[in-house]
Chains A and B, each alone.
Chain A
Amino acid sequence: MALPPPDPQFVLRGTSAAIHTLHFSCGGQEPDIPVLFSGSENGFIHVWNLKTHRVDTALDGHGRKSVYCVETVGGKDRLLSQGRDQRICLWDLAEGRTSVTDSVFTEHVGFCRCSLGKVAQGRWLVATAAKGLEEVQVLELPSKTSVCTLKPEVGAKLGMPMCLKLWQLSCGSQPLLLAGYEDGSVVLWNVTMGKALSQLVCHQEPVMSLDFDSEKAKGISGSSEKVLRIWSLNEQQNLQVYKTHELVNAGISDITIRPDKKILATAGWDHRIRIFGWKKLKPLAVLDYHTATVHCVSFSDHRNPCERLLAAGSKDHRISVWSIYPQT
């Protein structure tokens, strides 16, 4: 007899706007407080104290335009945020400061979340959708120099890039980028050479979100339809479809794989969060708490496995935090 699905461990309220992005930063040692960053539709980035479950700081840097991507750049003192004011902002949050140190004007008017990847100590690459309709620009941080612009060939008709993921096979090797596009295809790019290595049509509708496991060379993508598509990368760097999973209700806004690669979570338009086992995509749980579309899910990076959390942000202005399968 299976147990009924668990309830959230706690719920964070107080943003008074839909939440579009979440990012944990709990890897620090004591006495560092574990925090959760959330970006909302009203332009604020809230820094939640996970001990007190309250907002420590509220950052206002995007002119009240919706913030749809938040990531830490090597620790919770440096934050990167992307908003609908067409800017990527870099924040300095050390010692209680709340200032924007730098910003990049991407001229991107869509909703594609940028992707951050570390290439060397102190050097990062950020891939973001750019001004041109089908282009992805890769910049180096903190210098903000452009590494390359990835343009699909003329007539490819991929549409806007919808989601990005930068990764490397191992530290020091060539950075690669996976991009999901509006026409439903996923393209693998070689960033250094600026060339597309492989393209796979995964969906009939735009690819809403994707995530990739570089160890197993397997990735998963979700779209506005009812399928989740798992694809793999073979030795020739070619993408092939591996598996398909049918959902009960259509629409996936976000997918994320837990850092230990055991489970993954999907945020659905049907207000539900679904948990699957990553190995065989075995459905594990359906978490039904929210009353509106769930926009984002994120796993925490706690060092102690038992403390690991999953957070989900929704249009109903709430962030639900769950402790699910912590012990594996």
Chain B
Amino acid sequence: LSLIPGGLDCSISFVSHVLGKVCVHGRQKEILGVLVPHLTELTKSDCIWQRICWRLVECVPERWMEAVVLGFVQKAPGADVLSRLLGNLVVKNKKAQFVVTQKMLLLQYGHTTVVLQNLLGYLSLDSLRRALLLRVLQELLETWGSSSAVKHSPPEQQLYISKAILICLSHLKEPEIESCRQELLTSMMAGVKCHLDSSLPQLRRLGMVVAESISSRINTEGPVLKFEYEEDDETRELKSLLVQTPPVCVVPSLPDDDSSKKAGAALPSVPESNKKSQTAPPVMPDEESDAELDSDDDLVPYDMSEDKELKIKAPVYIRDCIEVLTGSEDVDKWEATVKALESLIRSNPAATREVSVELAKILLHLEEKTCIEGFVDLRQRAQVAVLTTDPIPVSKYLTSQFYSLNYSLRQRMDILDVLVLAAQELSCPKFHGKPKHSDAQKPRIQLLPGSDSSKDWRRIVDERIKSKTRRFATGQCHVEPASTPNQFSSVAGHFFFPLIQHFDRPLTTFDLLGEDHLILGRLVHTLAVLMYLAVNTVAVTAMGKALLEFVWTLRFHVDSYVRQGLLSCISSLLLSVPAELLLADMAEELLETQSWLGDVVEKDPDGDCRRLALQNLLLMENLKKKLEAVPS
């Protein structure tokens, strides 16, 4: 490319043509890999070369412009370089403008963060282009804030758009923000609502981070919006985008205080208890042993061996506990009772069975009277203990309450969690008497209660699938525990069927098929786990049939969390129901399900759903092979 510099009015349109043709054939990387470094060097200080470069790109024919611009944006090492190379191309050329402001930001989402930085930085570097920057920001916010986009677009695209928004924000100067403050505020409010409505925690977090950032930019004085969420790599990366270290631009850097708190949600939730424990160090030693020689000697100490830590005695009988929990004004006793309740229940099963439903009722409605550490956990453990001690009546009560009026979302989710934990305990013999949530012998099955249990169900199913699809099953030898009859077998149906019965009957405050899709998602996941735990029980086939029908009616649900749950249900079903019974009773339904799964794999916008569907198809394939392999 050794053109004659200086003064001559060469026509470089030929070069542009060549460039364009090469790029459109997909060879951007090769040619620009050579071209861009050269041009970077040359245009660094030489204005003439800059103008030559600009002419070069401007002369590229329309039909090849997109490929060239795309290539340049991806190849340029920095926003300022891009600015030197492209000049005001985006302002002059309509196609280039479309590519940069619309296509790369809104229609594609595969570009890296660096490319985004370069692109938006390029837009911010020139006053003519800044108007475009503002327009871009507005369009990005519109997309970010539209509820249909949040529901239907893949999480990766939403992450991309959020990054773009944050980078734009970082480039904007004070007067520009002033001018569009109102619009920013409105878009933020609308957007935050859609994001927090979503069932996927990742999307909720994205919404929170972006809203916080917008709020901190538009309210530089006064209180800013602050959410509680768990910090992780993604949020840290996003927040770092707000701070620019540019050579040219003056961008105020924001002190992001990194508060690490527990994952909260915008749902009505039981307030977490804070620290106030009454545990103390051991007894103060008897002071008579030391003999200090001072004028205090004539003061002889008394015996202080009785001076111990103050402990409030908890009641010893279950009925006394009920009394304390329902009526007592004595808060110390109430606290001691709550702490001791679980062990009392487990050590007095006969007494508990007499009052089990009453106790379950009290526990479901129990609210924190004082600040105890781990109140939620204590309550849940007590509930699980009651449920495992007397499964049938208590499960009847709990499942009926799940569908009753006047419960909060949190309470309904608690019911589901308790059912799952109790089911796990009943189906695993070694859990008897010691409800530990992680077991050394079976590390793959860890059901951790928590607000984000969806990941765990998937993990369990994944691991089980993994263990089944591998032909060489080594490392599986664990000491077989002493075998006892599966206690879950007799009660599995009582846990499962009432939950599945009334899901389509809306109540005044609770509509599973309507707004409360988060609960629906949790319910579906719970059913998946119950199905999984029902392996080798008598009711498993009936459960499987009912579950299959349930999944079929809901298979087109809009919420991706619900769909993930439905796919987990299918996995559990395929794993738990014995293959012969599957074929005998549900062959047709399974074929229909298979075609549905194929659809999901191809068309579902959510990556996790596609993966789960694929796994299910694999499981079905394996089952078929297994059945064909058996000669009878």
Q: Please report A residues at the B interface, Cβ cutoff 8 Å.
A: 1-6, 226, 246, 248-250, 262-263, 270-272, 277, 279-280, 282-286, 288, 325, 328
A246-B281, A249-B280, A280-B294 given; A3·B306 CB < 8 A:
no
B515 CB-CB contact with A under 8 Å: no
A233: min CB distance to chain B, Å: 22
Of A226, A248, A271, A285, the residue contacting B301 (CB under 8 A) is: A285
Q: Rank and list the top 5 A-B pairs by shortest CB-CB distance, nearest first.
A: A2-B303, A285-B302, A286-B307, A277-B296, A270-B310
Q: Is the interface of A mostly helix, strand, loop or mixed?
A: loop
With both beta carbons as reference points, the residue of chain A lying nearest to B295 in the complex is identified as: A279
- 24 A-B pairs, CB-CB below 8 angstroms? A2-B303, A3-B300, A3-B302, A4-B302, A4-B303, A5-B306, A6-B302, A246-B281, A248-B280, A248-B281, A248-B284, A248-B309, A250-B278, A262-B296, A270-B310, A277-B296, A277-B299, A280-B294, A283-B284, A283-B301, A286-B302, A286-B304, A286-B307, A328-B298
Residue ID in chain B nearest A268 by CB atoms: B310
Task: Determine if A282 and B292 form an interchain contact, defined as CB atoms under 8 angstroms apart.
Answer: yes
Name B residues whose Cβ lies closer than 8 Å to a Cβ of A.
Answer: 278, 280-281, 283-284, 286-288, 292, 294-296, 298-304, 306-310
Q: Select which of A1, A226, A248, A262 is within 8 A of B307 by beta carbon.
A: A248
Report whether B302 and A2 are in contact in the complex, using a CB–CB cutoff of 8 Å.
yes
| Complex Cα–Cα for A288 and B310 (A) | 12
Most buried by B among A1, A280, A283: A283
Contacts A226-B280, A283-B284 given; indicate if A272 touches B307 (C-beta within 8 A).
yes
CB-defined contacts of B283 to chain A, threshold 8 Å: 248
With known contacts A2-B288, A279-B295, A249–B301 Cβ distance under 8 A: no
What's the minimum C-beta distance from A216 to chain B, rounded to whole angstroms? 13
For A226, the chain B residues whose CB sits under 8 A away are: 280
Chain B nearest CB from A248 CB (Å) reads 5
Specify which chain B residues have a CB less than 8 angstroms from the CB of A328 in the assembled complex: 298-299
Nearest chain B CB to A213 CB, angstrom units:
14
Chain A contacts of B310 at CB under 8 A?
249, 270-271
Could you say which residues of chain A place their CB within 8 Å of the CB of B288?
1-2
B286, B299, B306: the one within 8 Å of A262 (CB): B299
Contact, CB under 8 Å: B304 / A5: yes
CB distance from B279 to the nearest CB of A (A): 10
Known A226-B280, A249-B280; judge A279-B294 contact (CB<8 A): yes
- Kindly identify which residue among B296, B302, B306, B307 contacts A279, using a CB–CB cutoff of 8 Å: B296
Q: Considering the chains assembled together, what is the distance between the CA atoms of A279 and B286 in angstroms?
A: 19
Chain B residue, CB-CB nearest to A279? B296
Given the known A-B contacts A2-B286, A248-B283, are A282 and B307 also in contact in the complex, defined by CB atoms under 8 Å?
Answer: no
Smallest CB–CB gap between B24 and chain A, Å? Answer: 65
Nearest Cβ distance between residue B549 and chain A, in whole angstroms? 59
Contacts of A1 in B (CB 8 A): 288, 303
Q: Which residue of B lies closest to A251 (CB)?
A: B310
Partner pick for B303 among A5, A263, A272, CB 8 A cutoff: A5
Closest to A278 in B: B296
Closest to A248 in B: B284
Min C-beta distance of A306 to chain B, whole Å: 15
Q: How far is the CB of B306 from chain A (nearest CB, A)?
A: 7
Q: A283 CA to B299 CA in the complex, in Å?
A: 10
Chain B nearest CB: distance from A18 CB in Å? 15
**Please, which residues of chain B bring their CB within 8 A of the CB of A6?**
302
